[in-house]
Amino acid sequence: MRKGGFLLVFMLVNIALLAQNEEKTTKVYGGITTRTMGTFNRGELTDYHITVSYANVGVEQRVTPWLSFSAQVNGLLNYGLDGLLRVDPTTNSGPIYEANLWTPVWMEGSTHFELPILSANLNFNEHQIKVGRFLVNTPLINTEGWPFPGAASEGVYYQFKPLEKKFSLQAYALTRIAPRFSARFENIGNSIGRGGLGFEVDGDLSNYLGNVDSDFQLVLNANFEVSDHLSFDLWEFYTDNVMNNFIIEPTISFASDLRLKLMYLQQHKVNNGGNDDEELTYVVSDQSSYFGARLEKDFGVHSIQLNASRITDQGRLQLPRDWGVEPFYSFQRRTRMEGLQDATEVMVKWQRTWANDEASFRWYASASRGWFPFPGDAEKNKYRTASSAHIDNAFKFTSKRWVKGLGAELYMAYRFLAEDINEDYRYLINRADFFHIDFLVSYSF
């Protein structure tokens, strides 16, 4: 039996033995979502679509005031892959966004399951500890709105959060991660590359999947509230034998409704970036850096953001897509800056949230413009991402009375090509000049 199997058995046995404790309390939660997604490319380039349903059921069992256990099971069902398995004859490309929902390379049949949470949780007032499998919420490893959470990790978590002091500390020691594209727990090195490999600096397809030598991930975070108007978040991410990422993020509150956030991320290659062979390694640049700024203003139920992102010409910045969404301030759904060098993007976002006795509502719209290296310059552009203008909007409804927990969301986006690609449609399909739609109906309890 694998090491992970012993852990699962141990957790289940302990839950069974302690279930009779008089102080126990049980919380059961879950939900189900049906989702239809489609990408409609320009002209005769191939379109893609898929419909899936996914669900999760979880339980939290407290057995003493300081000890509890958590478990969660996720499942995924597809309704046919005809719209997903197409290959465009002009570019020999397949889907990008739809394949994130169901990846036939890693999934078989029409259903797939994952056990992302199975942990023992210890709570001693200011100190919290988790051991086992749990979801991670950090800038670089985090949950995303796909069927399986890329933040499902195995290891140990510790948090120190004084009740009256404006300071907190948290740390993770992780040995395995389940990439959101496959739902299989892998060691740290093998979890990188499940969601798309991109290209090496010489233009050849990357070949690091399964060849990255990394056994653990260490994460350290400290948050300081210097005053009512200034706070700092510090993050350190050390990926064994691959890379080290340091993030500093100050937040300045000019008033309760006006905030300025800044972010600086510095990445350094560790050893040879994952493999001694340059053709098999993950991180290729010795170092790279990112600067971001966000100005946010609230107007009652409205809010508006102005965002700017800059990846310098220092090196190609790489963050595994398998671990969740990127932290860059100009991030929009279906967009990425990861894998670029010498890239700039600006974005504005408006949002309105409101509620009544019947339901709650959220509506947002955003628009961005990116200036990226030419997509044929593999040294600076890992995923052949063309410069573009991206607009999107989403409307979300959640019932509070009629059927409590019932919700629906409609997301639509269009991306305009903003540079001359010499009519090389490999740089266009799923990357620019396309319309994208995502419709979800969900129920949670």
The pLDDT value recorded for residue 14 is: 56
pLDDT tens digits for range 359-401: 999 999 999 999 999 999 999 999 999 999 999 999 999 999 8
pLDDT tens, 173-204?
999 999 988 879 999 999 999 888 999 999 99
Alpha-carbon distance 81 to 384, whole Å? Answer: 26
Indicate the pLDDT class of residue 6, thresholds 50, 70 and 90: very low
Burial of residue 263 (number of CB atoms within 10 Å: 0-12, 13-18, 19+): buried
Q: Which two tokens stand for residue 19?
A: 């279930």
- Confidence band (pLDDT; 50, 70, 90) for 65? very high
The residue-averaged pLDDT of 209-234 equals: 97
Which numeric CATH code is attached to 27-444? 2.40.160.10
Q: For residue 62, which phi and psi values (nearest 5 degrees)? A: -95, 125
Q: Where are the domains of the chain?
A: 27-444
Q: What was the pLDDT predicted at 146?
A: 78
- How many CB atoms sit inside 10 A of residue 71's CB? 20
- Cα 380 to Cα 199, 200, 274, 319, 386: the distances in Å are 10, 10, 19, 14, 12
CB atoms within 10 A of CB 180: 29
pTM for the predicted model, two decimal places: 0.92
Residue 160 has pLDDT above 70, yes or no: yes
